[in-house]
Amino acid sequence: MNKVNLEIVGLTYSESSTGAYVLILGDKLSQRRLPIVIGSAEAESIAVGIEKHRNGRPHTHDLFLRFAKEFGVEVMEVVINRFRDGVYYAMLVCKQGNDLTMVDARPSDAIAIAVRAGCEIYAYETVMEEAGIIMEDMEKPTANDEGDRINKVDASASLNILDMEALEELLQEAIDNEDYEKAAKIRDEINSRV
């Protein structure tokens, strides 16, 4: 089956589902988008993974990768392989030695693992045809935008799903890196909760 290479282009609070978020994946070669509704815990894990933020204790997805590494398993790619009755299905393609194994996973968990493992995210063309949408008016990020995480994930959306401890650690990291614009956004998010 033909696979479409995807990237994360948005993560935002869902207006239609209470406590849910919408993860928007984009075809790297076109304006097609794949919107996936995910839970708040998974949204937080994806945002933390994108920001490369490290908590004192590992998230479940960090633990999975540590466990896999200990046993010589490498996550090669994530494939969203099916869309049925409004539900997406995915698999982790893993390699151990010369053996390839496909592990069934929820797309949100698979993507949280993919951002940590640095592996590619794909969807079968059949999934894109059935569930994808075309965003004509949306600007596509360029390769030069890689360092600018705001183009990858809406900063305010990713901040509002983090807990206070994670926000305070992220604030200190931004200050240490002299990224005062980011620090100001994080400070504003913290102040909005007090």
Both 170 and 137 in one domain: the answer is: no
Both 143 and 169 in one domain: the answer is: no
Q: Residue 116: which pLDDT band, with cuts at 50, 70 and 90?
A: very high
User: CB-side exposure of 54: number of CA atoms within 13 Å?
Assistant: 2
Within a domain: 156: no
The reported pLDDT for the residue numbered 49 is 87
Both 18 and 42 in one domain: the answer is: yes
Structurally, how many domains does the chain consist of? Answer: 2
Both 125 and 39 in one domain: the answer is: yes
- Tell me the residue range of the domain where 177 lies: 163-194
Within a domain: 158: no
Both 29 and 76 in one domain: the answer is: yes
Pairing state of beta strands 87-96 and 133-134? unpaired
The reported pLDDT for the residue numbered 161 is 62
Within a domain: 89: yes
Q: Angle at Cα 179 formed by Cα 115 and Cα 42, nearest 5°?
A: 25
Both 105 and 172 in one domain: the answer is: no
Q: Which has the minimum average pLDDT: 41-55, 77-91, 96-110, 169-183?
A: 169-183
**Amino acid in position 77:** E
CB–CB of 36/106 below 8 Å? no
Both 130 and 181 in one domain: the answer is: no
- CA 65 – CA 44 distance, rounded (Å): 17
- CA 145 – CA 158 distance, rounded (Å): 18
Q: Residue 108: which pLDDT band, with cuts at 50, 70 and 90?
A: very high
Both 99 and 19 in one domain: the answer is: yes
Task: Answer yes or no: is pLDDT of 96 > 50.
Answer: yes
Q: What is the mean pLDDT of the chain?
A: 82
Average pLDDT over residues 64-89: 94
- CA 23 – CA 131 distance, rounded (Å): 13
